């Protein structure tokens, strides 16, 4: 009987350890999103303005900055001040030519 009790305890400890690892992973994922949000800066997209406002292809710097700023896109799309500077259709075309998908924002 004592041996069976130890097996249950060991299995309970394993389940608790797995749950703890999952919780730590979720916390770290949320922290990384907060860090990403803290790095959002529309100024980082300045190298893309020529491509967005004309029919010129985007530069390598533009594409890299678009990739880096992708977590910020929904915030930019919700910002009414951005609409004065960016044509959404052309911005989508530039992102597509850089291979950067536009996220679905809710």
pLDDT band at 100 (very low <50, low <70, confident <90, very high): very high
Instruction: Tell me what percent of the residues of the chain surpass a pLDDT of 90.
Output: 41
Residue labelled with tokens 């997209």: 45
Q: Is the pLDDT of residue 18 over 80?
A: no
Most confident among 3-7, 26-30, 47-51, 75-79 (mean pLDDT): 47-51
Average pLDDT over residues 13-42: 49
Torsion of Cα atoms, 32 then 42 then 63 then 88, to 10°: 110
Instruction: Tell me what percent of the residues of the chain surpass a pLDDT of 70.
Output: 64
Q: Which residues, including other chains, have CB under 8 Å from residue 72's CB and lie 6 or more apart?
A: 36, 37, 39, 40, 41
Q: What is the pLDDT of residues 44-55, one digit of tens each?
A: 999 999 999 998
Q: What is the pLDDT of residues 60-88, one digit of tens each?
A: 999 999 999 999 999 988 888 887 877 88
User: 40-106 — its CATH code?
Assistant: 1.10.110.10
């Amino acid at each position: 009987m004592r041996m069976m009790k130890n097996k249950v305890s060991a299995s309970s400890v394993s389940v608790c350890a797995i749950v703890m690892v999952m919780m730590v992973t979720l916390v770290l994922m949320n922290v990384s999103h907060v860090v990403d949000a803290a790095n959002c800066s529309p100024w980082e997209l300045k190298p893309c303005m020529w491509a967005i406002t004309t029919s010129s292809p985007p530069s390598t710097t533009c594409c890299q900055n678009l990739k880096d700023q992708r977590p910020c896109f929904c915030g930019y799309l919700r910002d009414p001040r951005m609409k004065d500077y960016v044509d959404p259709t052309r911005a989508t075309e530039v992102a597509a030519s850089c291979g950067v998908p536009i996220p679905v924002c809710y």
